[in-house]
Every structure is written in C-alpha cells, then in structure tokens.
Amino acid sequence: DPNYLNWNNATNLVLARIKATVSPLQPLLISCQTASEAWDLLSKLFTSSSKNQIQKLKNKLNSITKQFDQSMVEYLLKAMTILISLQSTGSNIMKANLNDHIVDDLGLDYRSFV
C-alpha cells in the first residue's frame, strides 16, 4: 500500500529528527519505534519536571521574605520574577496572591504605606 509506505517514511523521518534534536536524551529514546512513542515519552519526562518546577516556584514564592539588608525594590523585583516565572508555566497564580503575601510579610513597619 503506497499510503502506508508514505506514512512509514514520514514517521521514520520525524523519529530521526526527534532523536537528533534531543541528543542528550537519545539513550532514553532508543526503544522508541515511532515518532508517536518518542513524543509521548518526551512529553511524560517534561511534564513531570514542569510540575516539579511549578511546585518549587510556588514554594519559593510562599517562603520569600524581605531581608534586613535588602532594598524594597530588590525584594519586589525578586517576588515579581518568581511570579512571572510561575505564570509562564501556565500556573494560575494571580498578582493579588503575591500582593497579599507581600503585605503580610512586610509587617508593621510598612503598614502605613499599604
């Protein structure tokens, strides 16, 4: 069947391209016979690391505190950087959550500004 041959050639080309593109991960992809298998394996690998990364960023955001020797600009920049990183992963963390955390963290010294 010519359609099968065309499909088989195409999937072999895609599989070869995937393996070439992610050369550090090639040992994990050796057993993959189709592009679909390789893609599914890579998806599982990167999804789990993304979940771990999201959890690490959430923990980092929840534990951020203003250090005594840290300027307010440095503190807010660090907090916003974590928030932007979280949002770029697709996490639904809102700026309002960050604002609440910052207000709670700053304590009485900054209450007159809030």
Which tens digit of pLDDT belongs to each residue from 17-57?
988 888 777 888 888 899 999 988 888 777 766 778 888 88
At residue 107, what are phi and psi to the nearest 5 degrees? 75, -165
Mean residue pLDDT of the chain comes to: 83
- CA 61 to chain centroid: 14
**C-beta pairs of 54-57 under 8 Å, 24+ apart in sequence:** 54/86, 54/89, 54/91, 57/82, 57/85, 57/86, 57/89, 57/91
The confidence score (pLDDT) of residue 36 equals 92
Helix (H) or strand (E) holding 61: helix 35-63
pLDDT confidence of 111, banded at 50, 70, 90? low
- Percent of the chain whose predicted confidence (pLDDT) is above 70: 95
Distance CA 33, CA 40 (A): 12
Distance CA 79, CA 86 (A): 11
The confidence score (pLDDT) of residue 101 equals 78
The pTM score is 0.53
